[in-house]
Structure 1
Amino acid sequence: MASGPTLIASVQRALHLLDAVASGERPATAKELARAVGLPLPTTYHLLRTLVHEGYLRKLEDGYTLGERLTALTQRGSMLTVLSRVRPIMRAVRDELRGACYLSLYSHGEIKLVDIVDSPEAPRVDLWVGVHEAAHATAFGKCILSGLDAEARRDYLSRHRLTDLTPYTITDVRVLEQRLAPGRDVFDDREEYLLGTACVASPIRAPGLIGAIAVSIPARRYASVAADPTPLHRAARRIARAFAIGS
């Protein structure tokens, strides 16, 4: 006869407490939580103290609420759910354009590279300089900068120096601003980040979202990909819908 799985009772009790806090419409006291989960009050206090210390709960004057760490986990879980829908779209772009595919988003004042889909036949670019230091030299960085309002873009550029990465990198703010003309639906990087590599990107537009999808290719293939960015535009629309559904 097969035995059941080995369960850790203290972990179960802590999870039951989290469930009880999350299900309430107001902060719950230790006594209320002890009654709700059927635990002795001293045990409840020990578990609550641990959960508060680890950031999963917050202790207020009138009881306990969910903590910032649990809220952050929920947000990351929501992002992972969206990415599970977005990755097939990125794989299709990679296979159609024969280049590594990149998804980037603007979040809390920074441009973040969220995901990369590559393959042995379509390897990713060696990101030798962090994205936050090189938005001006990447197609997806320009894409997102173009989508910011004037104040947000000035703030970003004031905090990030236009570093000279290759002989083709734009290091003059006035020239960069000209390249960020509003209304464009395709942006590029022609050996501005890395010699021998080009990148083409399309903006992702959705309520409350500023992002970009891009593909990197050998510089010699730039003209053929840039001539018909339809696959990128199509993918950008599909990704925007995926984020709208997941929000």
Structure 2
Amino acid sequence: MALKHEQDASSYQPHQSVQHALRVLDAVAHGGAGITDGELVRETGLPADQLTALLRMLRREGYVQQTADGAYVTGETLSSLGSTEGGAAALTAKLQRTLDELRDTVGAAIYMSRYIDGEVHITQYASGPETPAVNEWVDFRVSAHASAIGKSLLGQLDLDGRRDHLSRHKMARLTSRTITNEKVLLSKLATQPATVPVLDLQEYAVGTVCAAVPITAGSAVGCLALSLPVEHAHRLHDAAEALNKSAAPLLLSMAI
């Protein structure tokens, strides 16, 4: 089984959207009492249709708001995340709200993960009765070779970093689909397009399929992932594409 129409999934680039969103936010922040759509087009150099889509996302996420006359000013989310006091707590809460919304929209359990001090860490997740989380029957820290999360994180490291990780964690066979050959895994990681979701098709656990996309902010290595019961595998392509498109708001929160 493979993702159909991989180019569809790779056509959206969250990092580019975040750079454009930061440009818009900078213009709004310097707009004083408010800045209009026309002024934003001139200030940012972005096409009007692209700007409209960005402003829609920024309003939804609370980064900007409109005044009575239609001008844009900074929103509550931007103020809280930029605060020196309570900024970290505000970021955690904002990310969790976004994960919860994504869980309900996509209809899958959602995870955020980071590669910290040479190990895989699930930092936040959103699940529910209809969207159960993966049963961590093998510690995620020692099964990066088999999970979508692990492969996405390893894929963001350089070759030495990947080899170092694999030297510390034996590539155990968790299911009949698990890749246990280091050369094969390194080859797959090297040829994985950065904007195409990484898949786990029952490689970590029988009965579960997963997808993950990178959400690297600065030097931090991270990813956003989802899991589905194998009976919902037919939804994996659309869910993975939605996941990729939803990475921008999370990246934006982390970049501010």
> Which TM-score tier does this pair reach, normalised by the shorter chain?
0.5 to 0.7
Q: 1:184 is matched with which residue?
A: 194
Q: 1:202 is matched with which residue?
A: 213
The letter of the residue matching 2:166 is L
Residue-by-residue CA offset, 1:80-101 (whole Å, 9 max, x unaligned)? 4322111122112211221111
Q: TM-score, normalised by structure 2?
A: 0.62
Aligned partners of 1:235 and 1:108: how far apart in 2? 27
Cα distance 1:152–1:89, how it changes in 2: closer, same or farther (>3 A)? Answer: same
Q: Quick one: which of 240, 243, 248 aligns to 1:229? A: 240
Residue 78 of structure 1, CA deviation: 6.0
Q: 2:58 is matched with which residue?
A: none
Q: 1:131 is matched with which residue?
A: 140
Instruction: Return 5+ residue gaps in structure 1 as ranges.
Output: 1-76
| Greater relative contact order, per chain length (Cα 8 Å cut-off, separation 6+) | 2
Trace 1:37-116 onto structure 2 (pairs within 5 A).
Answer: 79-116=88-125
Aligned partners of 2:87 and 2:210: how far apart in 1? 29
Contact 1:90 1:235 in 2 (8 A): no
Contact 2:106 2:239 in 1 (8 A): no
The letter of the residue matching 2:235 is S
Cα distance 1:141–1:115, how it changes in 2: closer, same or farther (>3 A)? Answer: same
Residue 115 of structure 1, CA deviation: 1.3
Say which SS state the counterpart of residue 133 (structure 2) adopts: coil
Say if 2:252 is the partner of 1:241: yes
Cα distance 1:120–1:156, how it changes in 2: closer, same or farther (>3 A)? Answer: same
Cα distance 1:107–1:217, how it changes in 2: closer, same or farther (>3 A)? Answer: same
Residue-by-residue CA offset, 1:94-148 (whole Å, 9 max, x unaligned)? 1122111111001111111111210111011110111111111111110010000
Aligned partners of 2:165 and 2:118: how far apart in 1? 7
Say which SS state the counterpart of residue 137 (structure 1) adopts: coil
Say which SS state the counterpart of residue 206 (structure 1) adopts: coil
Say which SS state the counterpart of residue 192 (structure 1) adopts: coil
Residue 205 of structure 1, CA deviation: 2.2
Q: 1:163 is matched with which residue?
A: 172
> Cα RMSD between the aligned structures?
1.7
Q: Quick one: which of 215, 218, 236 aligns to 2:229? A: 218
The letter of the residue matching 1:113 is I
Q: Count the aligned residue pairs.
A: 169
Q: TM-score, normalised by structure 1?
A: 0.64
Say if 2:127 is the partner of 1:118: yes
The letter of the residue matching 1:217 is L
Q: 1:56 is matched with which residue?
A: none
The letter of the residue matching 2:193 is G
The letter of the residue matching 1:124 is A
Residue 188 of structure 1, CA deviation: 0.7
The letter of the residue matching 2:93 is S
Aligned partners of 2:185 and 2:251: how far apart in 1? 26
The letter of the residue matching 2:134 is V
Aligned partners of 1:111 and 1:130: how far apart in 2? 9
Q: Quick one: which of 151, 155, 158 aligns to 1:149? A: 158
Q: 2:38 is matched with which residue?
A: none
Residue-by-residue CA offset, 1:146-177 (whole Å, 9 max, x unaligned)? 00011111111111111111111111111211
Say which SS state the counterpart of residue 165 (structure 1) adopts: coil
Say which SS state the counterpart of residue 206 (structure 2) adopts: coil
* Paired-residue identity, %: 34
